[in-house]
A and B are shown apart, each in its own frame.
Chain A
Amino acid sequence: MDSSFLLVQFVSGLTMATLLFLVASGLTLIFGVGGVFNFAHGSFYMLGAYLAYTVVSLAHGNFWVAVLAAGLGAGVAGMIAEAAFLRRIYGRSEEGGFQILLTYSLILIIDDLVKLVWGTEYKSLSRPAGFTGSLVIGDVTLPSYNLAIVGVGLLVVVVAWWVLSRTRPGRIARATALDRETMGVLGVNVPLTMTLVFGIATALGGITGALAAPLRSVTPGAGIEVIIDSLIVVVLGGMGNFWGAWLAALLLGEVNAIAVATVPEWASLFSYLVMVVTLIFKPEGLFAPRQVRKV
C-alpha cells in the first residue's frame, strides 16, 4: 500500500465521516440542549433532500440556493413540530418514552406525506457547477465535491463552536441544557429557545440531506436509513456532545475506510465492533458531557 493510496483512502473516510457528522450534529445538538431524542431527525434529512430536488429541478434554482432552501424548509418544519407537538409532553413522567413515540409517529407521518407529494420514484440531483470534476495530483484523485463537503463540515463545526461558546444566544442555549427551570426564572424565554434550537437542529438535518443528495439517491425511506447510523455516532460521541459527535464520526469513517482497504470481507462489522468495544468500557460514550456521568 503506497502513500498516495493511503491519502486517497483517508479522504474517502473523511467524506463519509463528514456526512455522518452533519446528520448526527443536529441530533446531538437537540439532545444536548433540549434533552430531546428526536427519532425523526432522519425524516428532516429526507425532507431536505426532496426540497432541494424541487427547488433545483422545478424552479431551475441554483444548487446552493436549494441547499439553503432545504435548510430553511426543514428548520421551519422542525419548529412547527416542536411548538405544536413536542412541547406538550415536556416534563411528563416517562417523558423519554413519549418523546420516542411522538417522534416515531412523525417518521410515519412525514414518510407518507413525502410519498403523497413526491411519489415513490427515485429523484436525483446533480453536483453543482464547478464541483463536477476532480483534483488530480499524480496518482491521487480527489473529487472536488467531496472536498467541498468536507469543507462545509468543518465550517459547520467552527460556526457551531462560535455560536455556542461566543454568542449570547448560544450561551443561553447551553445553560438551558443544564437547567431549564432556573433559566426560566432568570427571564429567559425557555419555550422559544427550545423551538429555535429544535429548528436549527432540523435545519442542519435538511441541509445535510440536500448536500448528500448529489452523492446518493433521493428515495422514500431515506430518513430511517440514516437515523440508525447517526445514532451510533451520537452514542459513541457521548450523547449531546457536539465535538464528541465529530470525533466519533471521524473515527467511524476512517475505521471503515481502512477496513475496506485491508479486510473487505469483514469491513461492515468494524463500525459495530468499534461501537460495542466502546460501550463495554464507556457506556456513556467516548466524550460524555459532564453532567451525564453520574446518572
Chain B
Amino acid sequence: MEAASDKKALLFWGLFLVVFALVPISRNDYYLAMANRILVWGMFAVAFNMLFGVTGMLSFGQALFFGLGGYGVGLMVKYLGQAWFLAGLGAGVAAAAVVAYLLGYLVIRVSGVFFTILTLAFGQLAWQITFRWYRVTGGDDGIQGLVPTGILGDHIVYYYFCLILVACSVWFLKRLSASPQGLILRCVRQNPARVRFLGRRVRRNQRRIYVISSVFAALAGGLMAGVDNSIHTNMLNWTTSGEVILMSVLGGIHQFFGPFIGAAVIKVIEDVVGARTEYWSLIIGLVMMTMVLLFPRGLVGEWVSFKARMRSGGARKEGV
C-alpha cells in the first residue's frame, strides 16, 4: 500500500514540476507572473496550513512574516543597493525566525480563538508601524526597483529560481508532515492533553511549528518582492492573513496539497473575476460562504472523499 502511494506521490511531483517548468514556453509574462505568484502563495499557504490544518493553530497574523520577508529584501535594496537582494532575502527569513521565536512566547500562551485574535492584533501592529514609519519603510509609497542583480534579474531565470526554492520548501514541509514531528503536531491538534501524557511539551511543539511556518511565510514574502519588483505595506495587512486562510480552507485544510490548490484557484479567480466586474468582493464573498457552509473539506478534501465514496459504492455493488 505504501509503495502505491509512493508511486502516486512521485507521479504528482513529476507532474507538478513539469507543468510549472513549462510555463515560460508560453513566452507570456502575464502567465509567467501568474504562475510565479501561484508558486509563492502556494508555498505560503502550505506552510500556513502546517500551523492551521495540521497543528490546529489558526494564526490570523501570518501577514506579519510575509511582510517581514518582503521588507527584508526591500530595505536591504533601498539602503544598500540592488546587489543585496539575496542577502535581503536571507535577512528577512532570519528576522522572521527571530521574531516568530520571541512572539511565540507571547502569543502561544493562549489557545483557540484567543490565539487567533492575539496574532491578528500583533499583525496589525506591525502593519501600522510599517505604514506610518514612512521615513524608513517608505510607508504607503512602498519600495520599488527590487530587481536582483546578475542573471536573476531576468524574469525567466528568477521564475526558475522561485520554482526550485518552492519545490524544495514544499518537499521539506511534506517530509515534515509525514515525519514523527509531523505526527506529534497532528496529535497536538487532536488531543493536546494526551500529548502531555506522551511526555511531550505542547507549547514547545506549537512554538516550533510557529517558527517553521513563519520562516516559510517570510521566504514567500521575499520571493514576492522579486516577482512584482516592488513591495508595499499591504503585504502586512490583515487581508493578506485572511487570504491565506481562505486559500487553505478552499483547498482543504486536512490535505497536504489542499492549500496549494486553494492558492492557485484563488489567484486565478481573483484575476478572472476582477477583470470582468467591479463587484469582485461580492463574488469572492459568495464563493467563500458556499465553501464554508457546503464544502468545509475544501476542494481537494471533497474530491478525496468523493473518490472514497465512489470506491466504497462500487465495492458494495460488487458485493451484491
Contact = CB atoms under 8 A, between A and B. Distances in A.
Contacts of A107: 285
16 contacts: A94-B56, A98-B292, A99-B113, A100-B245, A101-B245, A101-B246, A104-B288, A105-B284, A106-B285, A107-B285, A111-B281, A239-B114, A275-B125, A279-B122, A283-B107, A284-B110
**From DSSP, what is the main secondary structure of chain A's interface residues?**
helix
A109 B285 CA distance: 5
B121 A105 contact: no
Identify which of B118, B124, B238, B289 gathers the most chain A CB atoms within 10 Å of its CB.
Answer: B289
B109 A283 contact: yes
Contacts of B128: 268, 272
Interface residues of A, number: 41
Contacts of A111: 281-282, 285
B184 interface: no
Contacts of B114: 239, 283-284, 292, 295
Would you list the 10 A-B pairs with minimal beta carbon distance, nearest first? A108-B285, A112-B282, A105-B288, A109-B285, A105-B289, A108-B281, A96-B113, A105-B285, A97-B58, A283-B109
Nearest to A99: B113
B184 to A, nearest CB: 19
Nearest to B190: A93
Interface in A259-295: 268, 272, 275-276, 279-280, 283-284, 292, 295
Interface in B97-119: 106-107, 109-114, 116-118
Interface string B60-100: 10000000000000000000000000000000000000000
A192 interface: no
B279 interface: yes
Contact of B282 (A101, A102, A113): A113
A242 interface: no
Contact of A97 (B117, B122, B245): B245
Interface residues of B, number: 39
A65 interface: no
Given A96-B58, A96-B113, A105-B292, A235 B118 contact: yes
A118 to B, nearest CB: 14
Contacts of B246: 101, 104
**From DSSP, what is the main secondary structure of chain B's interface residues?**
helix
B253 interface: yes
A231 interface: yes
B296 interface: yes
Contacts of B58: 94, 96-97, 100
A162 interface: no
Interface in B232-249: 238, 242, 245-246, 249
A4 to B, nearest CB: 32
Interface of A: 35, 37, 85, 88-89, 92, 94, 96-102, 104-109, 111-113, 115-116, 228, 231-232, 234-235, 239, 268, 272, 275-276, 279-280, 283-284, 292, 295
Nearest to B52: A97
Contacts of A268: 128, 132
A235 B238 CA distance: 16
B164 interface: no
A58 B125 CA distance: 41
B16 to A, nearest CB: 27
A102 B279 contact: no
